[in-house]
Amino acid sequence: MKKIISLLLLFTFGLSSCEKDDICDANTPTTPRLVITFYDNAAPTTLRNVTNLKVVGEGKEDTDAIIFNETGTSVTKYLTNANTISLPLKTDAATTTYKLIFNATSTNPNTDVLTFNYATQSVYVSRACGFKTTFTLNPRDNSANSGFIKTDPAGDGFWMQNINVVNSNIEFEDETHIKVYF
């Protein structure tokens, strides 16, 4: 009988020393970025690649722009020629502002500024991953296309002709949140 009790105690202590790994899986969704997809203004269902687009956050230098190509040179790593980009939003603020510079390497680049207005919410992911922040674009008015402000600080005319918010809830990165037509 003592052997059985000793064996049970040993087994119980052995199990109690085991614990789950506290490693956040790389595939676990974390704080999502805002996904912007570009379309041809003349053919609204056709994806269109931007030309040497550079994105710089408010108050940042051009050398602190969003990096699109890690292996690029000191100039090309900040440029994209894709039809979709993903931009981080500030988790500790209600707005984030970016300069989107179209054809940034030319002698006549065109700059539009987008300010995104949103509310944040912390969502528990897991013990290993902690919390992520999700965003909801806030409408400035009753328009379906609000949640942002577009300005032309250089006075060079807007290169973005039309902007539509297609998903104001930013919870995942595998879907388009904003469509830009140019």
- Tens of pLDDT, residue by residue over 64-117, are 899 999 998 889 999 999 999 999 999 999 999 999 999 999 999 999 999 999
Question: What H or E segment, with its residue span, contains residue 86?
Answer: strand 84-87
> Hey, where are the domains in the chain?
28-181
Residue 116 vs residue 155, higher pLDDT: 116
Residue 137 vs residue 144, higher pLDDT: 137
Strand partners, 122: 133
Specify the pLDDT at position 169: 95
Q: Compute CA 47 distance to the chain's CA centroid, rounded to the nearest angstrom.
A: 19
Residue 92 vs residue 140, higher pLDDT: 92
Specify the pLDDT at position 27: 84
Q: Characterize 143-170 residue by residue with b for buried, 16 or more Cβ atoms within 10 angstroms of its Cβ, and e for exposed.
A: eeebbbeeeeeeeeeebbeebebeebeb
- Cα–Cα distances in Å, from 26 out to 21, 88, 115, 130? 14, 18, 30, 13
The model's pTM is 0.82
- Tens of pLDDT, residue by residue over 1-41, are 555 665 555 555 555 555 556 788 888 888 999 999 999 99
